[in-house]
Chain A
């Protein structure tokens, strides 16, 4: 009789990269619907442009690097990169902005480093930061939710804006765009206006942060919690990120509520929740050890607050994530967990 031996793991959950990436996309669907509801069709069109560019760039680079196309294209990582990038862009960005960002993310930040698993930086954030520092004008043309300006721009009109720069009803982007809540707070605080006056004087502020934005935030939160429940992402990074941001924002808010917005504003404003659940949790560029993930997430939360409050950009999520990406290898090095059977004094498994 012949006994086959096989090594562990014996029970496999069937998880693979494609399934993971698919679930990440699924978790974003409610937020995408909410965003479309409040801000119009721009996001959906941007997602289409970004995802197709990202996949095309991935295929092109794989061909140049002489790697097999099918396994790497079907893992869906390029789709997620495109999706996340599109989510970070202003909804009426011209098409070439989205194309450049997605192509840069895949070609430079991912494939030049060796493809999935080798990129030290989050590709979507590299693409976003490239756009932010290269095209400051286009990247700040945010629009308010349509319940604020009472403007419903249809699908065809949105297509015209994105592809040809033609605005309906003799509008222009200057009439359409408006400062985001974070932007407003930053500008008006500089004019010695108190936070409560800013929030009362502007229609774009809702209960916690911006009208519309906070609802999108709720759905992102829900999708993120589902991802944690499904064990696609760990709880450490989102919790540490939100916890540290909340703590530091709470401290300064208590110190002087007139100059420092409330912690809830920081949590639901800007891209905090998207970063906490979908961007910072990128398994490749984030820290990998359990305690390291807590440090990594907390670092991002603190940096977001520091950049928003004392930096020159209204939101600092992308920069915070990239800075902590740089720190991730060092964090991993110092937070190696004790290997079973070895004492704490022998780092990295010790001698055998």
Chain B
């Protein structure tokens, strides 16, 4: 992979992660991360919409007048969301019922319009597709992690209701980590989502700082530690 593409991937998955760094699209992130399966469903839907809208916006970027770009982008995004919603209604009806209003609300997820405006409208199709996928996967990863934390703490299970996503044959996926667990309601309620996200952001900052420290030590500059320290 050429370094430019690797950079786009790294931006989306880590350095400029939508959930941990840009803090965009928090509403679905906080609302739907109660279980891993819900998180996975919404994450995949968002990734698909983001990849599709990025490609389309990149294709039409030279045709749309700058004054009209925002409405056109919204139209593009809305079409993809409608498509994804209909697909889910057709093939994942139970999950569609669980996620409810949060699927149409992907339209208003500011991550998607932000990527369309700041990346896809300035880059070619291939790079835009990669950016959409990377950003979407970064979002999905945080959603999954948060969903896992909240589900383990709140219900003591993992992948509960896996049949919603993978069909009836997938019930074996559900792992009960703690038998007889009475549940920790705070993790399932909204405060749990905020606390969990806050802890994840803190964790990312700690990892970044450690890496920066190691980098400065490796270079072994004799000067005092700079702002990165």
Contact = CB atoms under 8 A, between A and B. Distances in A.
B185 interface: yes
Interface string A309-331: 00000000000000000000000
Interface stretch (A2-10, A131-139, A190-198, A293-301): A131-139
A179 interface: no
Nearest to B198: A112
Nearest to A136: B185
Contacts of A136: 185
A71 to B, nearest CB: 26
Contacts of B186: 130, 133-134
B184 interface: yes
Interface residues of B, number: 7
A153 interface: no
Q: Is the interface of A mostly helix, strand, loop or mixed?
A: helix
A134 B195 contact: no
A134 B187 CA distance: 8
* Interface bracket on A: under 10
B189 interface: yes
B189 A133 contact: yes
Interface string B180-192: 0010111001010
B185 A133 contact: yes
A88 interface: no
A136 B183 CA distance: 11
A306 interface: no
Contacts of B185: 133-136
Interface in B164-187: 182, 184-186
User: Which of A134, A135, A137 gathers most chain B CB within 10 Å?
Assistant: A134
A108 interface: yes
B97 to A, nearest CB: 27
Interface string A129-155: 010011111000000000000000000
Contacts of A108: 195
Contacts of B182: 135, 137
Contacts of A134: 184-186
Contacts of A130: 186
Interface string A67-102: 000000000000000000000000000000000000
B183 to A, nearest CB: 8
B141 to A, nearest CB: 24
Contacts of B195: 108
A130 B195 CA distance: 12
14 contacts: A108-B195, A130-B186, A133-B185, A133-B186, A133-B189, A133-B191, A134-B184, A134-B185, A134-B186, A135-B182, A135-B184, A135-B185, A136-B185, A137-B182
Given A133-B191, A134-B184, 4 more contacts: A108-B195, A133-B189, A134-B186, A135-B185
